[in-house]
Amino acid sequence: MRRECLTIIGTAHVSEESVNEVKDAIYEQHPDVVAIELDRGRYTKIKKQMMGIEDDEPISVTRIIKENKVGLFFTSTLLGYFQSKIGADVDVAPGSEMIGAIEASEDLQIPIALIDRDINTTLQRALNKMGFMEKAKFAYGLLLSIFGFDDEEEDIDIEELKNPENLDDLMEMFKDEAPSVYEVLVHERDAYLAGRLMQLPYDKVVAVVGAGHKPGIERYLDNPESLPNLRELEKIDEKNGIPWAKIILAMIPILFVVIFFLAYFNGINITGNIYEFIVISMVMGFIGSILSGSKIQSAIVGGLVAPLTIIHPLLAAGWFSGLTEAKYRKVRQSDIKNLTKIESLRDLWENNIFRILLVVIGTNLGVSIATLVILPSQVFIPLFMQIFG
pTM (predicted TM-score): 0.67
Residue 47 has pLDDT above 80, yes or no: yes
Provide the pLDDT for residue 249.
72
Residue 117 has pLDDT above 60, yes or no: yes
Inter-residue contact 315 to 360 (CB < 8 Å): no
CB atoms within 10 A of CB 360: 27
Band (pLDDT 50/70/90 cuts) for residue 30 is very high
Distances (CA, A) of 340 to 30, 336, 375: 36, 8, 41
DSSP-assigned letter for residue 228: P
Residues in Cβ contact with 154 at an 8 Å cutoff, skipping those fewer than 6 apart? none
Provide the pLDDT for residue 50.
87
Residues in Cβ contact with 157 at an 8 Å cutoff, skipping those fewer than 6 apart? none
| 377 SS3 class | helix
Provide the pLDDT for residue 93.
54
Provide the pLDDT for residue 15.
66
What mean pLDDT is predicted for residues 169-198?
79
Which pLDDT tens digit goes with each residue over 190-238?
999 999 999 999 999 999 998 889 999 999 999 999 999 999 999 886 5
CB-count exposure of residue 49 (10 Å: 0-12, 13-18, 19+): middle
Q: The dihedral of CA 333, 335, 338, 340: what is its sign? A: negative
Q: What's the CA gap between 103 and 46, in Å, rounded?
A: 11
Identify the helix (H) or strand (E) that includes residue 112.
Answer: strand 112-114
CB atoms within 10 A of CB 324: 23
For residue 59, which phi and psi values (nearest 5 degrees)?
-100, 130
To the nearest 10°, report the CA torsion of 132, 138, 144, 147.
Answer: -100
Which pLDDT tens digit goes with each residue over 297-347?
999 999 999 999 998 877 899 999 999 998 898 877 777 667 666 666 677
